[in-house]
Amino acid sequence: MPKVLYPGIIHGDFKVDNLMVDAENRGRILGVLDWEMSTFGDTMADVGVFACFWDEEGRERNPVSAGTTAHQGFPSRDDALNQYANERNIDLPNIDWYIILAYVKLAVILEQIHVRHVRGLTVGEGFDDTGAMVDVLIASACEWAAKTSVPGLKI
């Protein structure tokens, strides 16, 4: 586990569809919704979640994202991360670790939902595919781990 570099409040589910943006200036965030998973820790955890949910044209979509960031006008995931680092004047030396953590965390959450659905404890539309989503998320985590430069994560 990397050393905590940027301690603070963690949202826990920081992604584009939890942001309220200015209609006149789409790059300006007016508010952040959905704080029930918030806690204290390394704010890089939120950056990892944000990157985990970032879809790009030509890449397999995160199975639980809306695909919003794959549309024209959004930067690539790398450009978004670089812009974040530049705006905060920080480095992101362990970002791969946090992205992998985000994929695994989301996979664990979905596996729990899938098991509850199979047992009849979680009902409603949209739960039939949660089991298949887990495999995609774990594959994404493994893809990141295979290409990382972070010591101890490369597989």
At 65, the pLDDT band (50, 70, 90 cuts) reads confident
Average pLDDT over residues 142-146: 91
Q: Give yes or no for a contact between 33 and 18, defined as CB atoms under 8 angstroms apart.
A: yes
Angstrom distance (rounded) from CA 3 to CA 72: 36
Angstrom distance (rounded) from CA 140 to CA 138: 5
pLDDT in the model for residue 13: 94
- Of residues 3 and 65, the one with the higher pLDDT is 3
Percent of the chain exceeding pLDDT 70 equals 99
Residue 155 has pLDDT above 70, yes or no: no
Average pLDDT over residues 110-125: 93
Residue 62 has pLDDT above 80, yes or no: no
Residue 152 has pLDDT above 80, yes or no: no
The secondary structure of the chain, three-state, reads CCCCCCEEEECCCCCHHHEEECCCCCCCEEEECCCCCCEEEECHHHHHHHHHCCCCCCCCCCCCCCCHHHCCCCCCHHHHHHHHHHHHCCCCCCHHHHHHHHHHHHHHHHHHHHHHHHCCCCCCCCCCCHHHHHHHHHHHHHHHHHHCCCCCCCC
Average pLDDT over residues 121-148: 90
User: Which token pair is 18?
Assistant: 């939890």
pLDDT in the model for residue 68: 84
Q: What's this model's pTM, rounded to 2 decimal places?
A: 0.89
Which among 49, 46, 68, 41 has a CA at the least distance from the CA of 107?
A: 49
Boundaries of every domain in the chain: 7-88, 95-147
User: Which token pair is 141?
Assistant: 């985590």
Average pLDDT over residues 56-85: 86
Q: What are phi and psi of 100, to 5 degrees?
A: -60, -45
Which residue do the tokens 């985990």 mark? 52
